[in-house]
């Protein structure tokens, strides 16, 4: 399984359009080679280089397994967006105070759908995913101010 973006390569700079310095919309993403036995997908975007903790920028779960792309400035079809560290659902782009930060776009193929409340957090999603991950893919974007 792979996750890619036409906006940036793995371990390359995320264009400012997708950050708080620009339009702050999600970049386009492509999902390929999703396991045929997967029941749902989950997407977590976070920044482990944030000063106080790993900062959560986007959480989407129960994405349909036929989903092969996420268009720019849109949520994955039929996915449920969880609460980010910005205190609300939806994508929140890179906005580091200083230095170079790494943004991990992590895609998980699961053997189940997740029974979670509408306001689920990354921690809740990760807890429910335990023991259900069939495959994982990762795309890393870099950004600095």
pTM for the model: 0.97
Look at residue 78 in the predicted model and tell me its pLDDT.
87
| 3-state SS string for the chain | CEEECCCCCCCEECCHHHCCCCCCCCCCEEEECCCCCCCEEEEEEEECCCCCCCEEEEEEEEECCCCCEECCCCCCCCCEECECCCCCECCCCCCCCCCEEEEEEEEEEECCCCCCCCCCEHHHHHHHHCCCEEEEEEEEEEEEC
- Contact between 68 and 45 (Cβ < 8 Å): no
Q: Of 5, 20, 10, 18, which is closest to residue 96 (Cα–Cα)?
A: 20
Look at residue 104 in the predicted model and tell me its pLDDT.
98
Structural domain total, the chain: 1
Which tokens is 49 given?
Answer: 């280089």
For the chain, which ranges sit under pLDDT 70? Answer: none
Burial class (CB in 10 A: 0-12, 13-18, 19+), 141: buried
Q: What is the span of the domain harbouring residue 25?
A: 2-144
- Contact between 119 and 83 (Cβ < 8 Å): yes
Q: What CA–CA distances, in Å, run from 12 to 6, 8, 96, 101?
A: 12, 6, 16, 11
Look at residue 31 in the predicted model and tell me its pLDDT.
98
What CATH number is given to the structural domain containing 132?
3.90.280.10
């Amino acid at each position: 399984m792979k996750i890619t973006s036409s906006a940036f390569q793995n371990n390359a700079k995320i264009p400012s359009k997708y950050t708080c310095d620009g339009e702050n919309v999600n970049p386009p993403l492509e999902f390929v080679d999703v396991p045929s036995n997967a029941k749902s997908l989950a997407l977590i975007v976070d920044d482990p280089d944030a000063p106080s903790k790993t900062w959560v920028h986007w959480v989407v779960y129960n994405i349909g397994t036929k989903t092969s792309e996420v268009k720019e400035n849109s949520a994955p079809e039929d996915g449920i967006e969880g609460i980010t560290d910005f205190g609300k659902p939806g994508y929140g782009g890179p906005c580091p105070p200083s230095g170079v930060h790494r943004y991990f776009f992590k895609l998980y193929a699961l053997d189940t759908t997740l029974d979670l409340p509408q306001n689920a957090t990354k921690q809740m999603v990760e807890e429910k995913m335990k023991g259900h991950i069939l495959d994982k893919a990762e795309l890393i974007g870099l950004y600095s101010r």
